[in-house]
Amino acid sequence: MTFIGLVVHNLTTRRFRTALTAVAVAISVTAVVTLDVVTRSLQSSAAAVLSLGHADFIVAQTAVADVLTSSVTQDQVSRIAATTGVKSAVGVLVSAIHLNATNPLFIQIGVDPRELPAFGVHVVAGHAYSVHASHQIMLGWEAAQNLHKHVGSTLKIGTITYDVVGIYTINQTFGDTAAMFPLVTLQANTRKPGTVTLAAVKVARGASVQAVENRIERDNPDLAAVRLATQFGRVDRNLEFLDAAQHGAEIIALIIGVIVVMNTMLLSFVERIREFGVLRAVGWSRARLLSLVMGEALVISLLGAAAGVGLSFAVTTALERFSSLRGVLAAQFSTSVFWTALYTAIAIGVLAALYPSARAAVLRPGVALRRE
Amino acid sequence: MSVPPATAPPGTPTAEGRRSEPVVEAVDVEVAYGPVRALDGATLAVHDGEWVAVAGPSGSGKSTLLQLFAALDQPTAGEIRFRGEDLTRRRHLDHYRRNDIGLVFQLHNLLPHLDARRNVEIAMFGTHRTRSARRRDAEDLLSRVRLEEQADRKPPEMSGGERQRVAIARALANRPTVLLADEPTGSLDPESVANVVDVFRRLHRSEGLTIVMVTHDADVASAADRVVTLEKGRIAVPS
């Protein structure tokens, strides 16, 4: 029998307690992993606006709660377009509207039809809307598919019925699941005349993206240039709050997990005091006894991690079906999720086993053997 | 596996005419549990190859003395020596417990979820033996206590006498110098008592193992070379 064999044997002998402890670990892992996956997914959905128009970066109002509330004047967009090193700057108005139960957050994008090529829009059916058309829209091909619409159909958004004059692709899910309006029409509908949400900026060949970003921010102190998802908090404070809430909830889940698992392990420790006394009496060192208890905790942690990832997958799949999260939550289980589960489970197992294993190690064998 | 034979019969005078140095020795030891004195100045020396039975009434301190020899507890005063070294001054006693002594309890103290072979093997962890060597040695020890057929059985599936013989095999796992037994026949039927005493007798006679055995059974004590009696925490009748 090997030492690892003894660890596994001890756990399989006490199947019920092992399963119970692993479930406690798994619940904490599920909470942490689900929060992580959901938050990342929400962040990635929110940050999808970054890739609009395949720009080198976007410019939006700094420090607003939600990027969709950002307000950039068209004069500012013109100034940005005139900045040294800028190839093009397209002003885009973005808003979300409740279309129906299956599309609770339907994205509307307002772009001047003359800037559609610069924005990377390809009309694949029908034609583009005209500059001042108040009842014409184009649908992204995915939106058209989801809504069962085609060129010539009508679509009621709010109180207005629009003619679908074209189907477009922008080769990016965020844009292709949206509807595109003439900029002035969407500005009128949303009561934001003369303003856009952001400017999608492309940099001239040979110019430094960073230098152009710095130049724009220096000339427009109320605007921020954002290139990466990690910088997105600069123009969307909600993401920062979401991040903070996620970390807070993860820490609480971890603490609860440690307390529950430690409680189970302490019960096990009390039951096994005599066994530990025997092992010390036959010459086991404190370190070996500590390794035994820690080894058992680690194996339980691994079981909990595996179960936790499975549970988390089930929970997020269920969450994705909630109508209020449809289209917003698209959970992805990347490799980092498995590492998160493993770290969490090991942290819970080790922290929870520290006290019981230390108590086992410092037990005086004579005292332990006298325990009934 | 072989246990080295005793270097000399008990109490054999050395070339210088002195008796050999004791293997284990209690020197004026006291153990107090609050106002109760379990041992009160007990002194006992056990020599190489000797079989000593410690007898005495309940509460006289027999088991306490044995626990001190086994380094399971510390005396309040006095010294416990192994080959002349005071164990109370040692910080780590794991090596002593693992390699120098073997311990048999009254209630066997086997781990119920492990079979007989694994119960013996468990005492061999930390001795740098390979897995296969541990298994081979455990089987050899079980055959020495005539339990080779019971190696795969767990303690709840064995009789009291068989469990105690597994406990003896475990105590011999690391070729100890001294076998310490605390009431090893205390909970056994007469036939099992005879079997266990027979095992002790063989280990003592053929392998020269030093044995310190606590017992309240006069018949069992009579199998030893020497019987000492404890009364009120002191050695009363050294034989």
B17 to chain A, minimum CA–CA distance in Å? Answer: 36
Q: CA of A322: how far to CAs of A48, A145, A315, A329, in Å?
A: 21, 21, 11, 9
> What was the pLDDT predicted at B91?
82
> What was the pLDDT predicted at A69?
85
- Across residues A152-175, what is the average pLDDT? 91
CB contact under 8 A, A365 and B72: yes
Judgement on whether residues A208 and A68 belong to the same structural domain of the protein: yes
Q: Is residue A348 part of a domain?
A: yes
Distance CA(B38)–CA(B32), nearest Å, equals: 6
Task: Name which of A1, A15, A18, A275 to mutate to probe chain B: the one with the most chain B Cβ atoms within 10 A of its Cβ.
Answer: A1
Q: Is residue A17 part of a domain?
A: yes
- Across residues A130-151, what is the average pLDDT? 92
- Across residues B158-175, what is the average pLDDT? 92
> In this model, does residue A49 exceed pLDDT 80?
no
pTM above 0.80, yes or no: no
Last residue of one domain, picked from the residues A226, A258, A282:
A226
Task: Name which of A278, A292, A363 to mutate to probe chain B: the one with the most chain B Cβ atoms within 10 A of its Cβ.
Answer: A278
CB contact under 8 A, B125 and A286: no
Domain count, chain A: 2
**Residue percentage of chain B with pLDDT more than 90:** 63
- Whether A369 and chain B come into contact, CB under 8 Å, resolves to yes
Instruction: Locate A125 and state its tokens.
Output: 């059916």
Judgement on whether residues A179 and A262 belong to the same structural domain of the protein: no
Handedness of CA B164, B167, B168, B169 (dihedral sign): positive
Show residues of chain A in contact with B95, CB under 8 Å. 283
> In this model, does residue B16 exceed pLDDT 50?
no
- Across residues A164-185, what is the average pLDDT? 91
Q: Residue B11 — pLDDT band, cuts 50, 70, 90?
A: very low
Q: Search chain A and give the residue with CA nearest B123.
A: A282
> What was the pLDDT predicted at B108?
81
Judgement on whether residues A39 and A62 belong to the same structural domain of the protein: no
- Per-domain residue ranges for chain B? 24-110+174-235
Judgement on whether residues A75 and A144 belong to the same structural domain of the protein: yes
Range of the domain at A130: 57-226
Q: Which residue has the higher pLDDT, A37 or A329?
A: A37
> What was the pLDDT predicted at A326?
63
Q: CA of B21: how far to CAs of A114, A246, B13, B14, B237, in Å?
A: 108, 70, 10, 9, 21
Query: Given phi > 0 = left and psi -120 to 50 = alpha, else beta, which region is A214?
Result: alpha
Q: What is the pLDDT of residues B26-63, one digit of tens each?
A: 999 999 988 888 999 999 999 999 999 999 988 889 99
Residue with tokens 């500012």: A76
Tell me, which fold does domain B24-110+174-235 have in CATH? Rossmann fold (3.40.50)
- Per the CB < 8 A criterion, the answer to whether A363 and A276 are in contact is yes
> What was the pLDDT predicted at B85?
93
- Across residues B118-122, what is the average pLDDT? 95
Show residues of chain A in contact with B134, CB under 8 Å. 1
Q: Search chain A and give the residue with CA nearest B122.
A: A279
Q: What is the pLDDT of residues A99-118, one digit of tens each?
A: 887 787 889 999 999 999 88
Q: Residue A331 — pLDDT band, cuts 50, 70, 90?
A: confident
Q: Is residue A94 part of a domain?
A: yes
Considering only CB atoms, A283 lies closest to which of B99, B109, B114, namely B99
Judgement on whether residues A73 and A171 belong to the same structural domain of the protein: yes
Judgement on whether residues A283 and A251 belong to the same structural domain of the protein: yes
- Whether A335 and chain B come into contact, CB under 8 Å, resolves to no
- Whether A272 and chain B come into contact, CB under 8 Å, resolves to no
**Residue percentage of chain A with pLDDT more than 70:** 96
Judgement on whether residues A147 and A38 belong to the same structural domain of the protein: no
Considering only CB atoms, A285 lies closest to which of B72, B94, B111, namely B94
Q: Is residue A52 part of a domain?
A: no
Q: Search chain B and give the residue with CA nearest A284.
A: B94
Judgement on whether residues A221 and A250 belong to the same structural domain of the protein: no
Judgement on whether residues A117 and A205 belong to the same structural domain of the protein: yes
Handedness of CA A365, A366, A367, A370 (dihedral sign): positive
Q: Residue B18 — pLDDT band, cuts 50, 70, 90?
A: very low
Judgement on whether residues A86 and A220 belong to the same structural domain of the protein: yes
> What was the pLDDT predicted at B9?
45
Last residue of one domain, picked from the residues A202, A226, A250:
A226
- Per the CB < 8 A criterion, the answer to whether B210 and B9 are in contact is no
Distance CA(B58)–CA(B61), nearest Å, equals: 8
> What was the pLDDT predicted at B12?
47
- Whether A286 and chain B come into contact, CB under 8 Å, resolves to yes
CB contact under 8 A, A1 and B126: no
Q: Is residue A231 part of a domain?
A: no
> What was the pLDDT predicted at A325?
67
